[in-house]
Amino acid sequence: MAGLTHPADLKYTKSDEWVRVEGDQAVIGITDYAQDQLGDIVYIELPWDPQTLTSEEKFGDIESVKATSELLSPLSCEVIKANDALKENPELINDSPYEDGWMLVVKIAKPAELDGLLSAADYEAYLQGR
């Protein structure tokens, strides 16, 4: 994991998504570890139109040169918008997983679910054992 960062102000899932809580909304993406594992990302399918997701529901597909992965929602939520820039420039996820490479802005449906997410320290401990 040398050189990979997992900011302390975010929450994480064991399926390698991150969540940044902003009031009653949240921003969702995949972690530095995840983008590094995937390698060169070439395509992403996201919910471009608003829709409702439940926790751990698939919300998209991400394609690297080598493999296809499913994206799982960390929270029950309503999708407000998806990051249109990723349509043409999916490599933003490799270059900037926590900023330019964000995927969704959502309205949090069940705030109590946030307690079930991992802290950065817990997520890194989990990665060590993987």
Partner 1 sequence: MTTHDATDATGTSLKRTPLYEVHRQLGARLVEFGGWEMPVQYSGILDEHHAVRTRAGLFDVSHMGEFNVSGAGALDFLQRLVPNNVSRLAINQALYTQLCKPDGGVVDDLLIYRLAESNYLLVVNAGNIAKDFAWVQSHSAGFEVQLVNQSAETALLALQGPAAQAILQPLTQVDLDTIAYYHCAPGVVSHAACVISRTGYTGEDGFEMYCPADKVVDLWHDLLAAGKEHGLIPAGLGARDTLRLEAALCLYDHELTEQTNPLEAGLAWTVKLAKGDFIGHDALVNIKAEGLKRKLVGIELVERGVARGGYAIYDGEQQIGVLTSGAPSPTLNKNIGLGYVETAQATPGKSVSIDIRGRRIAAQIVALPFYKRSK
Binding site for partner 1 (CB under 8 A): 15-17, 30, 34, 37-40, 42-43, 45, 61-63, 65-72
DSSP, collapsed to helix, strand or coil, labels residue 79 as strand
Q: Which is nearer to partner 1, 16 or 83 (CB)?
A: 16
In whole angstroms, how close is the CB of 63 to partner 1 at the nearest point?
A: 4
Give least dist CB 2 to partner 1, A: 8
- Asked whether the beta carbons of 73 and 55 are under 8 A apart, the reply is yes
9 versus 36: smaller Cβ distance to partner 1: 36
Note the residue count of the chain: 130
Q: How far is Cα 1 from Cα 13, in angstroms, rounded to an integer? A: 17
Of 71 and 108, the one with the shorter C-beta distance to partner 1 is 71
Sheet strands (E) in the chain:
11-12, 17-22, 25-30, 41-45, 52-53, 58-64, 68-72, 77-82, 104-108
Q: How far is the CB of 23 from partner 1 (least distance, A)?
A: 25
- For the CB of residue 127, give the shortest distance to partner 1 in the complex, in Å: 13
Q: Which is nearer to partner 1, 53 or 111 (CB)?
A: 53
